[in-house]
Structure 1
Amino acid sequence: MRECKTPNVPSFSALRKKQAQLTREVNVIPRAHTSALGNKYYMNHPLDLLALDWANPCVRKLMQVYPEVTTTVSQLYHGSKWVEELDLDDLSPMWANWKVASHRHFYIKELAQLSNGQYVVPLKWIIFKNIEHAECYRVSHYPESNIFIIQTHEVARIPATELRYNILDLCAQGITMKFAGSPNWTKNQCNPVRQIANGKPVFHLRIMPWSDDVSGNVSKQYNPHMNIYVVNANIPHKKLSQEYFVRFCCTSPNASSGEQFDGMSEDFKPGKYHPAYDCLLEQDILFRIDPHCLPADNPAQAENSSGSGAKANFRCRYDKSGGTATEYETDEGYHAQFEPGISRTPEETVETIKEQIFAACLGVQDAVDAIHTRTGVKDKTASFWMEQLVSKARALQNERISDPRTRDQRLNDPTLKGPAKAEVKSEIKAQIQTELFDWVIMQPPERYAKLPTVSTSTATELRPGDHFNVLLRLRGLDPHKDSPFEILHTYLLGIDKYVWHDTSNPKVWDDKKCELFATRLQSSSIDGLTLPPIRARYLVKYRNSLIGKHFKALQQLAVFHFDESLCPPLVLELWKAIGELGAMLWYPEIKNMAEYQADIKILTANVLDIWALIDPNRINTKLKLHILPHGPDDIQRFGPAVVYATEGFECWNAIFRLCSVLSNHLAPSHDIAVTLADMERFKHQVSGGWWKNDSGNFVQAGPKIRDFLTKNKQLQRRLGWAQEITITAGAVKLCAVEKRDPLRWNEALGSCWQPEMSNPAGNVLWNRCKQVISQSGDVCKDGSWVFFKDSKGAVSPGRIFKIITPSSTPTLASVIIEQFALHSEADKRLNMPILSNIHTSAVIGPTDLLFKFNCQHDCQRHKCKFVEDTATVRQGRTVTSPNELPLTMHSVDDDYFLNMHALHNAHLIRETLPRALTAPRPYLADRLATHKELAAQLRVSGPAKRAETNAKRADTLQKNKAARAGRNQRLTENGPRGNNSDEEEVA
């Protein structure tokens, strides 16, 4: 900058000093933690990070602090957990009419008076029909005795603006409150939070933490780190999917996610209220945070819920189903894998962990392992202590029972024999067990010393965070139910991956079949799918190394290109089932939750049943198949599966890796936390956020700094911020001047012209348009398939032939539609609606376009042929030979499949089509009977396979034992290693 003659350029040290000062003022400062296992790490605490959201005008306007009751579920705060399950005290406790009387705060569980003079007690605040409401008990008042009776038999929903006086107003009016037959909390009359707030507004936020192991290297060499990120769950999902809203909390190459969650749990204490500046209300507030759910991949979710994972007998983090291989093969055990079982609870899991720790105090590892095997509970923190307890117990037992020099004097008595001696040994072991249990309670010593008093119950019991998973004891969180199935890892990298492997296995597909499928797939139409261009040859060549985006493409398109030459009929049925289920799992919004739940359950059952017919034992070996039946409950509680998908977190790993690579690798947890705290500070300030400077005043950056984010696309891209774009339905965009091709009305319509099509603009030239925006916000072009409203108001499918606009009035555009008829019955082979060209056209206005969808030609029926693609391929800056793969030449342009596996607009397609074409049908008429038949088959094949495996294992062990014996004998005969021949032999 100095070389460019820029004036007043600060020195580098002055710049760094100023940056450090600003970061200190913004108050995102990494704090050091030492876990119960002795691992050290640094954390940017969520309370500090979310305090910035209140002061950031780009974020504050998006935050919804109250749950919303709605028939259309599309957000986390629409789910039943937030709306129905949470304790009243875990929701935002107060409301005020900020425009009329911002000083009058109404709290839950307090008496209030309505504008009509009636009394109520608000229970919680909700959004209903976009208006803030209070769900409350009505109160009967008897003035003659001054008694208030709360009518707890009915909950009324009242607009919050009807509230007139709060409890402070009523007390000021001299009203003495005496409650009769009321809940216990009326004894306090005032909500305890009111005293904590001291006149400040108080809100609760819910966060969604994510944890996973991530490599700190860009190269293939794995450099393991355990990371935790969080997002503000009170923000709409459309924004949460942007990297801007993902907040880094901590990382460590040593500390596990459970250890780091223990440090984070400090922010979740019930009375932990944090100050912040609300830029919308322009005043100081208090807020607290709570974890809402724990999205992650399945191994991380198993660890978060203290489960043993996929290889255990009782492997499910949700329920208690499972058992040994023999139990899986019983009729009851096999069918249980297809349905949700008896739910696990945190209380039972904690009791099991305590049982394991107490058993470890006896020094018998087999006893601990037996509990693991019997329950499927394996806690990482508890395992750390159990290893020490087993070792200590054995050492003490040897000292007091076995060693003649130090053992108990009673055991030296030669007359003590038989049962009497065994009883003494048992007594000593019990004493050692009690001593060790008392010892572990006082571990770690530095944490035990900080407990309030030794007399409290926490000082005589095992403690969360110190001795077992802290997530099992967090208020409002159940790790078993609140670790929802995740569509990326469970469906794309699970279900889709399994079926693709079975289909394209090298034992099944040779090079000729691979070439045939690649050619067919490359010819697919992707308009209306929001997919990048298909790289079919890559998908086939590297079919064992695909990632999520590849499986997303295969899930939507592969079924159209399979026939008996590429896969058996039952495998095709499986592809159809996973495509139908996948389309519904990616719903962005659900308008009829009951119907959606019923459909999802049928489609899930179909996927599992068809797979069982192909391979009965697959569901016993693949946990992700058993996870699927829990999906409907997760969607009921948290909303559509896409709102808690983890793609946003996974993408954010690239930012973490750059911080790791560019650090000095000496203190990664500290250095990366500091770097990303500085980034949070910069992001906050450049977004126009407020902060308190050293003088105690709230300030924000100047207008030019704030405009830097809104006007600089490069900065937006680097911060992961997508600016809100206003899309006008019906807006058209003209082609470039040289491509507009101005023509008269009849010439512009070409083959679609019909005599009854009157010219809406008179004798003027019409220009071609590049695109038009539908009602759903889709960008539609020539050839796009759309649903539109015709002149009679009926909704019909069609294909855009041309978009034109009169040169004299560019705003009066017209869309020429080729009309297609929808068959009353679905195709029997693919179970998809059929569209047939009726060779008529319609002229509609741009605002009559509803939404876009995807269609695929019925190539197998019409026996379409392949032709060489003459399009050239560019490699670098060089134009090379024509495309290697041929393209499909459709022989007839009449029949098309409406792609029901498409993810884009899947919900709109099913709302528009007749229910008869979209309602799922069970694949098996009697599931239970079929499962019993399959279980009977497993009871024959299962023992045989296990016997074969055991025989191979025994044979391998015997060969290895013989090889070691022969090597040892040669070493003995030849002496120590000294000559080359011996060294070569040993090597």
Structure 2
Amino acid sequence: MASHKTSARHRTKLAQLNAFYQMTAAGLGGSTHQNKPDQQSPSGGPPSDIDIEDNYIPAEQEDKSLSEEDDDQGIDLGQFGYRPDESDSESDGRLDIEDWSWSGEQTLGEDFEPNEQDIPTTGSTSRPQRTRRVPTSSPWYPFPSLDHLIGSLILGQLHSIMPPDLYNHLQVILTLRHVNLPHWDTLRRMRSRMRSMLKIEPSENQLVLLNKTFTLNVQSIVGNELANPIVAQHLEFYPHDPCGRDVFALYQSQKWREELGPNSRVQMVPSEGKHFYIYEPVGLKDPRAPIVVPICFYKYQNTLFSKCIKPKGGLRANAPAGSRQFDLHLSSMIPWFHPDLIEIPVDQFQKTYSELTTYYGDSYVELCGNRFIACGSGLQRVDIPIPNPWRVCAGGKIIRHVPVTLYADDTSGNKSKRWNKHAGPLEIGEPIIDEINKVSQEGYVAYDALLEEEVLMVVVPLCFLADSPMAAEVTNTPNPGSSNNPCQTSLVYHGFQNPAIGLKLKPAPIGAWISSQTDTVKEQERKLQLYGLRDRISLELAEHKRDNLEDRLWIIQIEDQTPHRKKNPWLKLLSFDGTKDTPMEVLHVILLGPVKYLWCDFMGRITPTQLPQLEARWRAFNTDGLNIPQIQPRYMIAHWKSFVGKEFWVVLQAAPFVMFPFMDTDMKLIWSALCALGSYVFQTCIKDMDTYIRELKNHIQHFEFHLVKMSGRWANKPKIHMIIHLEESILRFGPASLFATEKFESFNGIVRENSIHSNRLSPGRDIAIAFCDAKIMRLLMSGARLYDHETKRYFKSSPQVTNLFRNNPLIQKSMGYQQERMTSFSKYPCQHGHRGPQPSTADIPEVLRQHYPNREIMMISALNLNEKNTIRPGSFVLVSILQAAS
């Protein structure tokens, strides 16, 4: 403490506070607003000759809502966060026990009104005993006051972050108007205690290549989404079967519905107060119906169905005489289209396994030995236990099945920053994969905002979204830009008589590792090419082993203690197939693939004399109805080499109208095929899947035919080949827009922003903390019911906090939520806008007046056809007229 008081930083801060105190005292001395008596200041305002001493700790004022009384509160220096014993580091994240305390039914701190004897006078050498506890009856619970909530909002979330210096500057300015916001350090400590209370904190991980990462808990991330009432109402917990019609959502994906294993698919459904599980015998309401066994659950037209099978019974061998014991037989692998499956609505279920009895009143399950007998591969017997082990694990709770999509990308622009250390997706994924596997096998207790009760949450990976190099790294395949067979999806048929047999993702990972330890570098490279493997973890460990004795001992220790860490961790992710679950991503493969290649080829052919005419065509192009902003012609000409995805999206739509006059016949055929292909690729709703896939395949073949016919050099581009697999991805997951990565690219800006505002010592930790704080703020403002790990009970924010968010569109927008898009049920077409002068009614056609003589006809300025398309004067509309059959 003594050394800190003599430090230069302490004396500089003390001088600044004294100067500000003297200035404001002089400026407010003649004010008619008087300080409150409990602030221990004279009635005429603070005298101008008072200095702040080293041992003085100003008492913080009582926190109240912003009201007219705030003008009478005066200036509270305690709100500036002045702490004589505070560390010099402003981002060490340590807690001050004397500032906050936790007990009993109170949780996050609130400033109780201090007693007069606890408020020190000027020159006092004793530290006041302050307790901050927020009772559940507090109007701004769990925030100490409205000022703390406003300060948290001012600090911003993710995209818009206010640095500490700017916040403190704003705080000083607002103090002149008697608005006393908490100091930035106070808010930082408050956020830290919120993270501790909710256990939403980043965890530090030491990776196999000795990099440190900070991750958020998967269970907490997904579990709190169930507790969020705004999010939970839009979640689907059962796969839907659209029967190939109107496919537009990931909950209609084929993988979730048909391709998950027996232990990974949806395990149970509630019906009439009972819980029915798969692989358990069920009695139906129809007394004549036989006992069936549900194999999978799904929704059809918003009604829960189950695909069931009739078990085959037989007398048990070596059973005691007269015991009436029997065996029930099932197939171990029952695919979705198995001919013996029967579709039954769940509301027809009546009896669970424990309620079933035989004709003689014996327990049905006990007589069959509490098991099914399934024939596995090679006729090997497999016993399936009754009841389902998930029933025991759930303990009477409803199971919520939550599939998630995984995403990885390298943040553009950050590699050049010297304070950043970057780990690849294999290293970063290691702790996350372990958590996902645990939740998918054991479940996690969470609170469901819709059911208002605890549920058992199960998480399964649906797909991995990334660009081609990132997907290649995850699937252990070579980088597409530097390999002869640049595809992790295609099967290798060479050397097989049966073309239906091919090499999969993991041909020989163990052999590749042994080769790296025993063979020469050249021989290892030859075997890697033979196997088609490129495991980055194994390769880097092999390189380290050649460096020095210390690295070799470290790798030997990994082999002995944790041998599974020496290879790609994504290989052990359950319910994940790297060859199928890395869908072809349209942003990088189409817009940054053929569209980019052909655009650069086109602009390379344009002569300088043609540029003015091309610019004029860009200027004359009408963007109405295309859902794109107004085109900047000069930019399109000057920066055509630096386009990103959104510019290529404009080029793809405008090509027939802007670029065709400058093309020959072959180029027109190529661009016509590409534009037709683009109109299919970017559809957000597929009306008929069979027809769509057939036409999509024709468009892909048509485009690639004209492309290769123009020049054989295009055949060397990996992305030209990857387009072939687009139909497989759409069949498995739905429209290409569902697994597009544009919606995740915004995280690049978040990572850069938080890295810039970090203390440069550990940007990864600061980025993780920023995500934690934003998530907590989002949950509190949404009214989520959260679990307090200090008091061991659930709580939610006060109505004042949630109403501040619910009734204020500006705050919603600042936090990335647009309520009108989520709750708007207006029918299209509808009028666009309701303000401003309306057009004259003089131009209404007389034919229209005669057709509707009893109607009042008015002209409007614009008409919304749907959420994205608007018709204005001057727009052209193509109308299809259906003629009645004669």
Deviation at 1:682, TM superposition (A): 0.5
Normalised by the size of structure 1, how large is the TM-score?
Answer: 0.64
In 2: Cα distance, 1:560 partner to 1:531 partner: 15
Deviation at 1:729, TM superposition (A): 2.5
Q: What residue is the counterpart of 2:754 in the other structure? A: 659
- Are residue 502 (structure 1) and residue 601 (structure 2) matched? yes
Q: What residue is the counterpart of 2:355 in the other structure? A: 169
Query: Percent identical across equivalent pairs?
Result: 23
- Inter-CA distance 705–666: structure 2 relative to 1 (3 Å threshold): same
C-alpha contact (below 8 Å) 2:652/2:678 kept by paired residues: yes
Aligned partner (choices 302, 308, 315) of residue 472 of structure 2: 302
Q: What residue is the counterpart of 2:693 in the other structure? A: 597
In 1: Cα distance, 2:408 partner to 2:873 partner: 45
Deviation at 1:581, TM superposition (A): 0.5
Deviation at 1:440, TM superposition (A): 8.8
Q: What residue is the counterpart of 1:524 in the other structure? A: 621
Q: What residue is the counterpart of 1:847 in the other structure? A: none
How many residues are treated as equivalent by the alignment?
673
- Inter-CA distance 735–55: structure 2 relative to 1 (3 Å threshold): closer
Deviation at 1:6, TM superposition (A): 6.7
Secondary structure of residue in 2 paired with 1:720:
coil
- Inter-CA distance 124–224: structure 2 relative to 1 (3 Å threshold): farther
Deviation at 1:265, TM superposition (A): 1.1
Aligned partner (choices 53, 56, 64) of residue 225 of structure 2: 53
Aligned partner (choices 94, 106, 111) of residue 281 of structure 2: 111
Cα deviation 1:186-219 (Å, max 9, x = unaligned): 65211111111111222332211111111465xx
Map 1:66-81 → 2, pairs under 5 A: 66-70=238-242, 71=244, 72-81=246-255
Secondary structure of residue in 1 paired with 2:862:
strand
C-alpha contact (below 8 Å) 2:624/2:870 kept by paired residues: no
C-alpha contact (below 8 Å) 1:314/1:373 kept by paired residues: no
Aligned partner (choices 468, 472, 484) of residue 313 of structure 1: 484
C-alpha contact (below 8 Å) 2:627/2:868 kept by paired residues: no
Amino acid at match of 2:858: N
In 2: Cα distance, 1:202 partner to 1:113 partner: 21
- Are residue 481 (structure 1) and residue 580 (structure 2) matched? yes
Q: What residue is the counterpart of 1:157 in the other structure? A: 343
- Inter-CA distance 259–785: structure 2 relative to 1 (3 Å threshold): same
In 1: Cα distance, 2:515 partner to 2:405 partner: 35
In 2: Cα distance, 1:787 partner to 1:116 partner: 54
In 1: Cα distance, 2:691 partner to 2:882 partner: 32
Which has the larger displacement, 658-667 or 705-714? 705-714
Secondary structure of residue in 2 paired with 1:168:
helix
Amino acid at match of 2:247: V
Amino acid at match of 1:373: Q
Which has the larger displacement, 134-143 or 701-710? 134-143
In 2: Cα distance, 1:357 partner to 1:714 partner: 56
Aligned partner (choices 188, 201, 206) of residue 398 of structure 2: 201
Which has the larger displacement, 178-187 or 670-679? 178-187
C-alpha contact (below 8 Å) 1:74/1:590 kept by paired residues: yes
Cα deviation 1:756-778 (Å, max 9, x = unaligned): 861524496x5321233437774
Deviation at 1:253, TM superposition (A): 2.3
Task: Supply the RMSD in Å over aligned alpha carbons.
Answer: 3.2
- Are residue 568 (structure 1) and residue 765 (structure 2) matched? no
Q: What residue is the counterpart of 1:261 in the other structure? A: 429
Amino acid at match of 2:276: F
- Inter-CA distance 626–632: structure 2 relative to 1 (3 Å threshold): same
- Are residue 469 (structure 1) and residue 568 (structure 2) matched? yes
Secondary structure of residue in 2 paired with 1:212:
coil
Cα deviation 1:655-701 (Å, max 9, x = unaligned): 22211111111111111111211111101111111101232221111
- Inter-CA distance 476–791: structure 2 relative to 1 (3 Å threshold): closer
Deviation at 1:137, TM superposition (A): 1.0
Q: What residue is the counterpart of 2:191 in the other structure? A: 19
C-alpha contact (below 8 Å) 1:318/1:343 kept by paired residues: no
- Are residue 650 (structure 1) and residue 754 (structure 2) matched? no
Q: What residue is the counterpart of 2:453 in the other structure? A: 283
Amino acid at match of 1:358: I
Deviation at 1:501, TM superposition (A): 0.7
In 2: Cα distance, 1:8 partner to 1:472 partner: 54
Map 1:823-862 → 2, pairs under 5 A: none
In 1: Cα distance, 2:403 partner to 2:621 partner: 43
C-alpha contact (below 8 Å) 1:112/1:163 kept by paired residues: yes
Q: What residue is the counterpart of 1:881 in the other structure? A: none
Structure 1 spans left out of the alignment, 5+ residues: 226-251, 324-331, 333-339, 397-435, 452-461, 795-987
Q: What residue is the counterpart of 1:901 in the other structure? A: none
In 2: Cα distance, 1:301 partner to 1:616 partner: 27
- Inter-CA distance 42–272: structure 2 relative to 1 (3 Å threshold): farther
Q: What residue is the counterpart of 1:580 in the other structure? A: 676
Secondary structure of residue in 2 paired with 1:525:
coil
Deviation at 1:530, TM superposition (A): 0.5
More strand by share: 1
C-alpha contact (below 8 Å) 1:320/1:343 kept by paired residues: yes
Cα deviation 1:70-106 (Å, max 9, x = unaligned): 1222122222222221112212211102xx41xx211
Aligned partner (choices 873, 878, 881) of residue 782 of structure 1: 873
Q: What residue is the counterpart of 1:718 in the other structure? A: 814
In 2: Cα distance, 1:787 partner to 1:563 partner: 22
- Are residue 82 (structure 1) and residue 248 (structure 2) matched? no
Deviation at 1:375, TM superposition (A): 3.9
- Inter-CA distance 787–35: structure 2 relative to 1 (3 Å threshold): same
Structure 2 spans left out of the alignment, 5+ residues: 1-65, 67-74, 76-174, 316-321, 332-338, 375-380
Secondary structure of residue in 2 paired with 1:767:
coil
In 1: Cα distance, 2:882 partner to 2:676 partner: 33
- Inter-CA distance 468–782: structure 2 relative to 1 (3 Å threshold): same
- Inter-CA distance 529–343: structure 2 relative to 1 (3 Å threshold): farther
C-alpha contact (below 8 Å) 2:493/2:503 kept by paired residues: no
Which has the larger displacement, 718-727 or 304-313? 718-727
Q: What residue is the counterpart of 1:210 in the other structure? A: 407
Secondary structure of residue in 1 paired with 2:642:
coil
Deviation at 1:8, TM superposition (A): 9.1
- Inter-CA distance 312–442: structure 2 relative to 1 (3 Å threshold): same
Deviation at 1:290, TM superposition (A): 2.1
Map 1:302-381 → 2, pairs under 5 A: 302-309=472-479, 310-319=481-490, 344-348=503-507, 351=508, 353-381=509-537
Which has the larger displacement, 146-155 or 44-53? 146-155
- Inter-CA distance 391–762: structure 2 relative to 1 (3 Å threshold): closer
Secondary structure of residue in 2 paired with 1:740:
coil
In 2: Cα distance, 1:287 partner to 1:322 partner: 41
Normalised by the size of structure 2, how large is the TM-score?
Answer: 0.71
Which has the larger displacement, 167-176 or 64-73? 167-176
Amino acid at match of 2:759: N
In 2: Cα distance, 1:515 partner to 1:354 partner: 61
Q: What residue is the counterpart of 1:688 in the other structure? A: 783
- Inter-CA distance 785–700: structure 2 relative to 1 (3 Å threshold): farther
- Inter-CA distance 573–367: structure 2 relative to 1 (3 Å threshold): same
C-alpha contact (below 8 Å) 2:354/2:363 kept by paired residues: no
In 1: Cα distance, 2:262 partner to 2:247 partner: 21
Deviation at 1:522, TM superposition (A): 2.2
Deviation at 1:359, TM superposition (A): 1.6
In 2: Cα distance, 1:548 partner to 1:557 partner: 14
- Are residue 636 (structure 1) and residue 731 (structure 2) matched? yes
Q: What residue is the counterpart of 2:144 in the other structure? A: none
Deviation at 1:475, TM superposition (A): 1.7
In 1: Cα distance, 2:311 partner to 2:330 partner: 6
Q: What residue is the counterpart of 2:798 in the other structure? A: 702
Deviation at 1:7, TM superposition (A): 8.8
- Inter-CA distance 26–552: structure 2 relative to 1 (3 Å threshold): same
Secondary structure of residue in 1 paired with 2:247:
coil
Cα deviation 1:602-630 (Å, max 9, x = unaligned): 1111221211112113212x111111111
C-alpha contact (below 8 Å) 2:248/2:685 kept by paired residues: yes
Q: What residue is the counterpart of 2:137 in the other structure? A: none
C-alpha contact (below 8 Å) 2:618/2:658 kept by paired residues: yes
Q: What residue is the counterpart of 1:63 in the other structure? A: 235
Map 1:900-939 → 2, pairs under 5 A: none
